[in-house]
Amino acid sequence: MIKSDNTFLPDFSHIYVESDAKKYNLTRECLDRFSKANIIEISDYKSFFNRNNQDFQTQKNSIKLILAVKKPPFIYKGTDILQDGGFRNFYYNTPILNCLYNCDYCFLQGMYSSANIVIFVNQKDMENAVEKELSIRLYPNDPLMLSISYNTDLMAFENILPITRSWINFSKNKSDLRLEVRTKSALFNSLSDLTPSEKILFSWTLSPERVVTNNEFNTPTLERRISAIRLAIKKGWKVRLCFDPVIIYDNWEKDYGELLNKIITLLDCNNIYDITVGVFRMGQDYFQRIRKSNPHSLEYYKDYVEKNKIVTVSQDDRDRVKTLFANKLKDYIADDKIHFWI
Asked if the structure places residue 42 within a domain, the reply is: no
Please check whether residue 21 lies inside any domain of the structure.
Answer: no
Residue 8 within a domain = no
**How many domains does the chain divide into?**
1
CATH number at residue 226: 3.80.30.30
Per the domain annotation, does 318 fall within a domain? Answer: yes
Q: Are 75 and 130 in contact (CB under 8 A)?
A: yes
Q: Report if residue 24 sits inside a domain.
A: no
With beta carbons less than 8 A apart as the criterion, state whether 306 and 273 touch. Answer: no
Structural domain of 150: 70-95+122-341
Residue 330: inside a domain: yes
**61 half-sphere exposure, CB direction, 13 A CA radius:** 3
pLDDT of residue 2: 39
- pTM of this structure: 0.94
What pLDDT sits at residue 5? 39
Query: How confident is the prediction along the chain (342 residues), in pLDDT tens digits per residue?
Result: 434 334 556 789 999 999 999 999 999 999 999 999 999 999 999 999 999 989 999 999 999 999 999 999 999 998 766 677 789 999 999 999 999 999 999 999 999 999 999 999 999 999 999 999 999 999 999 999 999 998 999 999 998 999 999 999 999 999 999 999 999 999 999 999 999 999 999 999 999 999 999 999 999 999 999 999 999 999 999 999 999 999 999 999 999 999 999 999 999 999 999 999 999 999 999 999 999 988 889 999 999 999 999 999 999 999 999 999 999 999 999 999 999 987
Q: Is residue 51 a part of any domain in this protein? A: no
